[in-house]
């Protein structure tokens, strides 16, 4: 047995369960803290949370066992995210929110869905934090505004008013600090957000286009094709496959709820 492997004795039994190597779990947590969305989405698509080989038995009830592991995971993730720049109060409030959702969980499928929502939520927030690192205060404020109003139509004038600067100054900052125009950045942010709904929901292309305030479904499809090389339909066909299939109240509103 490797030096870092741990053994868990099932109470009252002789069976031994060998835990996963600590490096694999640490890598997963680090990917969340680093905002590595691609790696975390791949982990979700492989249904790793339901892979119980080597994770230890905390309860003989399958759902309760997953709940215990969920609490351990969110506790570690919340602290690692604080260490990597997330505000302590925000991270712990987010952790509390997801743990509270466990009261209503009664199936393994629902457990996987809440887990995938939780890790994706933390990862997306950490990605934004890392993107903002080293930016000037006005630019950080612009980024926060964009991601907080991603479903709305956003203009340079909106950002200028929000940061109490001129539109020309904000436009210049975007070019200098992120290397793209304000409109290009906003458009790319909306496309990245729409990818999640294409991969993790059953929403129609028209609904997604409307949700992110594109002028039309055809406009959304044209921009998506230009940015990704695939149409939204082809992208969904290629990457869709997770258990996370939500409704308007489930997917589109959970982020707002978790911030309360």
In the prediction, which pLDDT does 193 show? 85
Based on the fold, state whether residues 212 and 102 are members of the same structural domain. Answer: no
In the prediction, which pLDDT does 54 show? 57
Q: What is the pTM of this model?
A: 0.56
Based on the fold, state whether residues 159 and 124 are members of the same structural domain. Answer: no
Based on the fold, state whether residues 149 and 79 are members of the same structural domain. Answer: no
Q: Of 131, 146, 161, at which residue does a domain stop?
A: 131
Lowest mean pLDDT among 65-69, 108-112, 129-133, 245-249: 245-249
| pLDDT tens figures, 226-254 | 999 999 999 998 877 544 344 333 434 43
| pLDDT tens figures, 104-116 | 899 999 999 999 9
Q: Of 86, 114, 131, at which residue does a domain stop?
A: 131
Rg (CA), the chain: 21
Tell me, rounded to whole angstroms, the distance of Cα 133 from its chain centroid.
18
Residue 75 has, within 13 A of its CA and on its CB side, a CA count of 6
Name the 3-class secondary structure at 16: strand
Based on the fold, state whether residues 43 and 93 are members of the same structural domain. Answer: yes
Q: Of 131, 166, 187, at which residue does a domain stop?
A: 131
Based on the fold, state whether residues 61 and 157 are members of the same structural domain. Answer: no
Shortest CA distance to 151 belongs to which of 74, 227, 214, 92? 214
The whole domain housing 20 covers: 7-131
Confirm whether 61 is domain-assigned.
yes
């Amino acid at each position: 047995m490797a030096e870092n492997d741990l053994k868990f004795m099932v109470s009252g039994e002789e069976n031994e369960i060998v835990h996963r190597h600590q490096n694999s779990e640490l890598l997963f947590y680090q990917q969340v803290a680093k905002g590595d969305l691609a790696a975390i989405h791949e982990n979700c698509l492989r249904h790793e949370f339901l892979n119980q080989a080597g994770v230890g038995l905390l309860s003989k009830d399958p759902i309760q066992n997953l709940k215990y592991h969920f609490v351990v995971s969110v506790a570690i993730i919340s602290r690692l995210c604080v260490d990597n720049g997330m505000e302590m109060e925000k991270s712990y409030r987010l952790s509390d929110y997801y743990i509270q959702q466990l009261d209503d969980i009664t199936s393994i499928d629902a457990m996987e869905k809440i887990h995938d929502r939780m890790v994706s939520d933390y990862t997306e927030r950490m990605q934004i934090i890392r993107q903002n690192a080293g930016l000037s205060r006005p630019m950080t404020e612009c980024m926060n505004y964009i991601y907080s109003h991603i479903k709305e139509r956003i203009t340079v004038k909106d950002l200028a008013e929000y940061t109490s600067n001129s539109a020309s100054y904000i436009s210049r900052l975007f070019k200098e600090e992120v290397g793209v125009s304000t409109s290009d950045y906003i458009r790319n942010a909306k496309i990245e957000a729409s990818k999640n709904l294409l991969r993790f929901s059953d929403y129609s292309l028209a609904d997604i286009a409307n949700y992110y305030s594109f002028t039309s479904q055809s406009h959304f499809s044209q921009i998506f094709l230009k940015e990704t090389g695939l149409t939204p339909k082809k992208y969904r066909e290629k990457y869709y496959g997770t258990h996370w299939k939500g409704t308007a109240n489930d997917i589109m509103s959970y982020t707002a709820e978790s911030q309360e």
